[in-house]
A and B are shown apart, each in its own frame.
Chain A
């Protein structure tokens, strides 16, 4: 999967690229509207991430041009936080999703995957998770013929950790995924702990859950080989 990151802050672009590269994406970087246009003409991308405030113009103005040359790509607009018009304009111009800065990198990747499932209509497959299997679109977890009943939030947590397997996610990243910007680390982290406990209990009835690890003082990780 090829990603074009249109972002004038080099530090941020580098970190996004570094994160996505680890998750097996191929990243290119453009720091201006003009450069982005060149790259969009030169090659085809699966994802184009566009920052709105670029030195030579508004990233939103790039959208129609990019969509003409690269109609298959998924577009995510990176907005400044607290600017509701950016969101509306971005979606009007044909963006598939938007993210307000600063965002957590796992959140970006999970949005990209969600668009991919929606847009590219990837056939639903059962994904293995230890002795369990997960159906992301139907939001179901199975152990052989047994369906494990999870609440909405429990499934959100489990699937988010699963998407980022072998990666430790902090309680903050987890609670912001579930409650968005209203997450309050000071007491939502207890809630995350309680839910993980429930997930372990519910799955534990059917099989081993040692792949769901607690990383002391940090958060949780699903470790799969």
Chain B
């Protein structure tokens, strides 16, 4: 997942969590506040009551009765006074039910005992719970709306900032790592960021890519030069051996050994030739101006290889569209590519095996399949077979170990996709995919 997506998800999630926490705790909080406010109000009223009694005297309220009670019209509040033998002490506030004119109502009641004119009186000031929660709902709703609005605003701000902050990272990834193919494009660093981490990251990537490029180009140059330079001594050696082979002074018994030496030299020559060709291809020294019919190239290849197919008494089954043309190709290289693949297929097939070569159109690609009847390539080796000097464990055939590396180089340079499908014991199918 991309960093910006992750950050967005995280921010969204954390804000949602906070919102949920707030929504669930809101009634409780508001209730607490309302209750504390009511208590404070009750205490203020107590002070008021005591002040009035101090001013008017208790008789003014009791009027000779033992108790006094009064409530507002809607019974939201009430007050009661009566003589008590309880001693003065702590005030208590608790929720309890009171019967007022046949109605049983829930009140928050402040009870306190006070002394007046040598007697103890119990006073109660009550407030209905209904009036306490009356403010709760609008308060809650208002808080909720405000909160949601703020969360949304902060989300938008966060997203905008993340986008802006991470934009240079996306730019660096696209520009530096988008085309991960050697050699890397190492243009000047972009000037789009003030974030030092990103600047550092880009510079580090650039530095590494330049180093890799340098090593890559050096290797290429070395391969090209070395194989080219090897050719001269090989030429001389080969010519000397050819002349020596027909020298009268050479005894007949030494001739076979000289022939063996020539064979070894031939292998060396083949390796150098292949390496040289690979490096020429990698250095893009071949033009891509030919329009080629694969069927025609195949015919040429098969002509060159037919004697090997005959010798192994193999059956050849081909089904290729003769009209198909591929543009932007190099005919020689396509020949090399098909030659190597088909030659391998023959080489690794069993005697009397069948070699299938067929094509198909699939999702805008022209596919060419070459299926052999050999031992197959174990799955764990399929990745490596295209590397230089890599030979599979099933491969006991002589060879330079460069054939498939050459195939890969050609495929890369001509934008031909190449893949292999194989199961041990069931042969291997190499598939080429050409852009149409």
Residues of A near any B CB (own CB < 8 A): 9, 11-12, 15-16, 18-19, 22, 80-85, 101-106, 153, 167-168, 170, 172-173, 179, 181-182, 184-188, 190-191, 194, 215-219
Contact = CB atoms under 8 A, between A and B. Distances in A.
Nearest to A190: B311
A186 B256 contact: no
A16 B239 contact: yes
Contact of A82 (B235, B239, B276): B276
Contacts of B367: none
Contacts of B232: 9, 12, 101
Nearest to B269: A102
B280 A82 contact: yes
Contact of A168 (B235, B238, B245): B245
Contact of B239 (A15, A167, A185, A219): A15
Interface in B374-399: 397-399
B245 A81 contact: no
A218 B231 contact: no
Nearest to B330: A84
Contacts of A187: 308, 311, 347
B398 A102 contact: no
A147 B235 CA distance: 40
Given A83-B280, A191-B311, 4 more contacts: A18-B243, A22-B246, A101-B231, A102-B231
27 contacts: A9-B232, A11-B239, A12-B236, A15-B239, A15-B242, A18-B243, A19-B243, A81-B273, A81-B276, A84-B286, A101-B235, A102-B269, A103-B235, A104-B242, A105-B242, A105-B243, A168-B245, A170-B262, A172-B259, A172-B262, A181-B273, A182-B339, A186-B397, A190-B311, A191-B311, A215-B252, A215-B255
B177 to A, nearest CB: 34
Size category of the B interface is 35 or more
Contact of B277 (A82, A153, A167, A173): A82
A69 B332 CA distance: 36
A154 to B, nearest CB: 12
B313 to A, nearest CB: 13
B359 to A, nearest CB: 23
Contacts of B246: 22, 167-168
A44 to B, nearest CB: 26
B228 A15 contact: no
A179 B311 CA distance: 16
